[in-house]
Amino acid sequence: MNYFKKRLITEISISILIVGALFAGILFFSGNMSTYAQKITMNRQLFASRAAAVDQLASLRSDYNGKASKYLNVLYNIIPSYDQLINLNQELQSLAAQNKLGYSFSFAGETSKTAGGLGFVSFNINVNSGDFNSLMSFVKSLQNFRYLSFIDNISMKSNESLLSMDIRGRVFYR
């Protein structure tokens, strides 16, 4: 009987241990089930938003390839390379000569281009004339300058019969 008792106690102990382990596993997983469900939901939402972003990126890329790349040559004509600005003084001087103006030019500084952006060269121009219309004609021709430019400031002075205009501006480069 002693052998039978030992075997019964051993089998009951093993059964209780297995049931206890299963019960502990059930408690552990039921406690963490809501956490896992929330993680799964968040990952699904993240996946959906990333899929939408990739779809929009593909749409933008196809629009660029279909439409925007055609206009890239136009931008290259308007926005010069840094080396093309070497003759900036002569080009502006020819605009002044066309309007019969006295002319002086100076570089005011340079800002390097940023990643994916443009750089620019700042300049100061002083033009003078006895005729106000010539000065305004020069400003109009400067606004229609062949390179992408921006006029920061214009100031005018009058000295008896001579009108003088100081212009500060920038020319952008790629």
List, for residues 100-158, the tens digit of each pLDDT value.
Answer: 888 888 888 888 877 767 889 999 999 888 788 888 888 888 888 888 888 888 898 88
The rounded distance, in Å, linking the Cα atoms of 172 and 75 is 11
List, for residues 17-73, the tens digit of each pLDDT value.
Answer: 999 999 888 888 877 788 888 899 999 999 999 999 999 999 888 887 777 767 777
Among 166, 172, 2, residue whose Cα is nearest residue 88 = 172
In the chain, where are the structural domains located? 1-78, 82-173
Q: Which DSSP state fits 113?
A: P
Q: What's the pLDDT at 49?
A: 94
Q: What's the pLDDT at 69?
A: 67
* Class of domain 82-173 as given by CATH: alpha beta
pTM confidence score: 0.56
List, for residues 67-114, the tens digit of each pLDDT value.
Answer: 776 777 777 777 888 778 888 888 888 888 888 888 888 888 888 877
